[in-house]
Chains A and B, each alone.
Chain A
Amino acid sequence: MIKAGFIGFGRMGMTHFSILNIHPSVQAVAVCDQSATMLKIAKKYLNVQTYTDYEKMLDECQLDCVIISTPGDSHAEIMKVCLQRGLHIFVEKPLAMTVLDGQSVIAELGARPLVNQVGYVNRFNEVFMEIKQLLARDLIGNVVNFSSEMYGATVLKDSKSGWRSNKKAGGGCMFEFASHCIDLVVYLFDKPDSVAGSVLQSIYSSEVEDLVSSTFIYKKGLSGSISVNWSDETFRKPVNIIKIFGTHGKIIADKHSFKIYLKKSDNLNGFDPGWNTRYITDFARSVRFYVRGNEFTRQLDYFVDCIEGRVSDNVACFSEGLKTDILMEEITKDAAMQAGRAIMASGGVAALGRTPERKSFWKKLFRSKEKKYA
């Protein structure tokens, strides 16, 4: 049996626990969280050891793997300690808060034969897995352009409570939301060579961005855009939409269906020339146990399969996660440059406050400049 410890027992931690708790190869041994209430409940009803100090948990429980679902700012430190103790790691996205932190985790991993996976769950969605295969077959020819969009109604008012509205703790639309959209691009097309025209914009939040957009440029003659907004109340739950244009066709996909336009028919998939629609009901695959979406189970079962040596490709490994961290940092830098240019173009800092809804954003920028030159 693989002995698993859970660090972080919020919404994702509980979901992961539920899924792995009844995996035939896994024994859920211990839970670590900051919430005394949560731990009392876990101890009483879940038959596990509970800890507030993860190192104590690692000392006392003979674990084989950990599931880390804490806020992003704690990931790097926890992962390094776990790696030093020879534990397989599944960590919720993003890998770390900075590229430097992410790199230090990968350096710590080194050549250790440990399974390392980041919770980029879109890589386990049946539609996106199918699209990846279609692209590998060059079905739509050379891919020239794409757009990857993600929308949801996660933040509809300013909130100062909780780590999700705290940038330093790993909150904000970029880390929490856009990371999935960016990872989907990395999964399908790999990392772009540069980013341009990036914008981080606040809609309701005063401390973090609610909207992220950017243009991705590849030397191989491919370009694309991302557009992410977690303050869009027209969406009942988060959606990803990806549109891919190629020289021989086009694909439009979301988590539940895709449309493909082809110039020629494709016998292997039974696609006719013109538009073809495929729904998830056509190729959905069941899982041993479903909680909140079968991709959540698929990604954790894959993690266990990797530990038990049944698969070895490790599709959501740390080095893949680092690519998204790098892109998030590049987008943030690019957006700051764009914002700086905008200030110059609008008459310098004298333009502050012209647009009321952006006031806090400009103010923040101004404050950070003040600090820099103080």
Chain B
Amino acid sequence: MLDRIIFGDNQFFGINHMSEDKAQALAERFKNLKAITDVIETAYDCGIRAFMFNTHERTADICEYLRRNESRLREIVLYPSMPYAHKYANAVAEKGIFGAIKEFIVTGSTAGDILEMLTKGGMTLFEQDTIKVMQILIDMEMKMFRGLNVKVVFLQNIVTDLLLGFRAKDYLTGFVSYVRSRYGVDAGFNTMNMPMLVDFLIECGIENPIVCSSINKAGYLMNPDKGAYEKSLKEKTFCAMAMSVLASGGIKPRDAIEYVCNQKAIKSIVFGASSRQHIIETKELIEKYS
């Protein structure tokens, strides 16, 4: 059962889809870890228990904070989303895709990990079994969440959508089965192309897939269009999660939440906020219209 309300993290990392100025202001505001953990504490105080975190470099510090304060924040459940693509972008630009992956694996591994990899086939793995490489990468990204209560592990939208365009069934099903077998939790997908992805995941044999996408009254970041999203929500069997419900602030909160709550198939709503007032206001609106 997915949490109805999930607190998102874009604001912490200076991400705003609507304005570079707002993104800059957020980056300044959340310069220090304390500013981030203060907002997490506030959200927890307001009764929010579920948090979605991208595997940003700073998320490791947030996780460390959650572990240190486990007794107080013990009901927290996490919905990690991986990979945080910008973390790799520069390494990819410099060394190519495989060079970047190799570097990431080597720098993020202990000597023991590397020894284990070598015995499993070493770097020739890249050529022979890219699914195995994907599994190693998932493990590396999951390390930061050790000891914490993880509910669903998401594949981030850049990778999901690239694979969707490739029609790369094996990677998508491989992600789901590995997350289930290794971590005992469900896998989900972030996407900018919800209707197409849902059809493809069902075609791949993934039953009742968990799909998180932008769903908002403005139709922002909804491809191919809002109508196709509404149709999928009505007709397809999947666990729908809505993000960007406020369209990065482009819609009035009341209208935004009323619209999303009227889409009855939506199981959970991801939203981010930076102040107690906004957290309370949005949470109350969701509860009112649900």
- Spell out A's residues near B (CB within 8 Å): 10-11, 14-15, 17-19, 21-22, 35-38, 40-41, 45-47, 153-156, 159, 161-162, 164-165, 234, 236-237, 239, 241, 254-257, 279-282, 284, 286-292, 294
Contact = CB atoms under 8 A, between A and B. Distances in A.
Pick from A153, A254, A256, A290 the residue with the most CB of B within 10 Å: A290
Contact of A18 (B126, B161, B218, B226): B161
A167 B175 CA distance: 39
From A37, A38, A241, name the one whose CB has the most chain B CB atoms within 10 angstroms.
A37
Given A40-B127, A154-B93, A257-B18, A236 B224 contact: no
Q: Which of A36, A38, A41 has the most CB of B within 10 A?
A: A41
Contacts of B16: 256
B85 to A, nearest CB: 9
Contacts of B219: 284, 286
Nearest to B200: A22
A19 B163 CA distance: 10
Interface of B: 13-21, 23, 27, 86, 89-90, 92-99, 126-127, 130, 158, 161-168, 170-171, 192-193, 196, 218-226, 247-248, 250-251
B17 A280 contact: yes
A38 B130 CA distance: 10
Contacts of A11: 92-93, 97
A10 B91 CA distance: 13
B250 A279 contact: yes
Given A45-B171, A279-B248, 19 more contacts: A11-B92, A11-B97, A14-B97, A18-B165, A21-B165, A22-B167, A35-B96, A161-B95, A162-B96, A236-B13, A236-B27, A241-B20, A254-B20, A257-B18, A279-B18, A281-B247, A286-B219, A286-B224, A292-B162
Nearest to B18: A279
B196 A289 contact: yes
B223 A288 contact: yes
10 closest pairs, A vs B, by CB?
A18-B165, A281-B250, A290-B192, A290-B223, A254-B20, A279-B18, A286-B223, A257-B19, A281-B247, A291-B161
Contacts of A281: 17-18, 218, 220, 247-248, 250-251
A91 B196 CA distance: 28
Nearest to A297: B223
Given A289-B196, A289-B224, A37 B19 contact: no
Nearest to B123: A37
A147 to B, nearest CB: 15
B127 to A, nearest CB: 5
A50 to B, nearest CB: 13
B90 A153 contact: yes
B130 A41 contact: yes
Nearest to A164: B93
Given A11-B93, A256-B17, A236 B162 contact: no
14 contacts: A17-B165, A18-B162, A37-B98, A37-B127, A46-B168, A162-B99, A164-B94, A239-B20, A256-B17, A256-B18, A288-B223, A289-B165, A290-B161, A291-B158
